[in-house]
Structure 1
């Protein structure tokens, strides 16, 4: 149960970062390869869209751990949790190859810890 709370908290931090990026804050070095300090409009829209996906992932991990009521069947919720675990594992690998030191050294470990939380929650519950 605590693993799901940790995973949801870490993903909430990422969602906040992406919300700030969508609003034009200069934190681009932490995301998307660190190419831009301030994201151009198309990437700001993508960042805004990804906030909703990240919030959905938070709901899924909390539902999988039975911390909040399920909107889907437990099998569906667990399957979606496995999907996000796999996505975050791939994200961890890609962050590790980033040209941005901030993304590589801050976001990679955060993605790894979040992926582990999703994997453990999906397997244990």
Structure 2
């Protein structure tokens, strides 16, 4: 399903971005309200944990969209996609309310696109 592919690619891009943040690169003005240009050590840990969660979400959207097949995930994949759709809609709202102009311009549409992909994939999965 095309929405599963688009959603997984967009979330993978976000995961790469969060890896860069976790490594201490100066892209913090695009994330978490733009408060820090370089994430403090505790925030870097949060970024690294976020990457792990994003990669799990990618597996679930690909499973629900029938791009991959992991039998053990069949019973929960659709529900997990609905969860991430809801989470990403909330995330989109938070990005819109961000004080960071960069976060608003870049992360808001990316989060919204990914939310829609998770939602459509869950509805059709």
Offset of 1:74 from its aligned partner?
A: 2.4
Residue equivalent to 1:115: 115
Answer whether contact 2:63 2:73 (CA < 8 A) is retained.
Answer: no
Offset of 1:70 from its aligned partner?
A: 2.0
| Alpha-carbon displacement from aligned partner over 1:15-48 (angstroms, at most 9, x marks no partner) | 0000000000000011100000000000000000
Q: Secondary structure, in 3 states, of the residue corresponding to 2:5?
A: helix
Residue equivalent to 1:60: 60
- Alignment length, in residue pairs? 125
Offset of 1:83 from its aligned partner?
A: 0.4
Matches within 5 A, 1:21-40: 21-40=21-40
Q: Secondary structure, in 3 states, of the residue corresponding to 1:69?
A: coil
Residue equivalent to 1:47: 47
Residue equivalent to 1:100: 100
Answer whether contact 2:21 2:47 (CA < 8 A) is retained.
Answer: yes
Offset of 1:72 from its aligned partner?
A: 3.0
Offset of 1:66 from its aligned partner?
A: 1.1
Offset of 1:73 from its aligned partner?
A: 4.1
TM-score (norm 2): 0.97
- Structure 2 gaps, min length 5: none
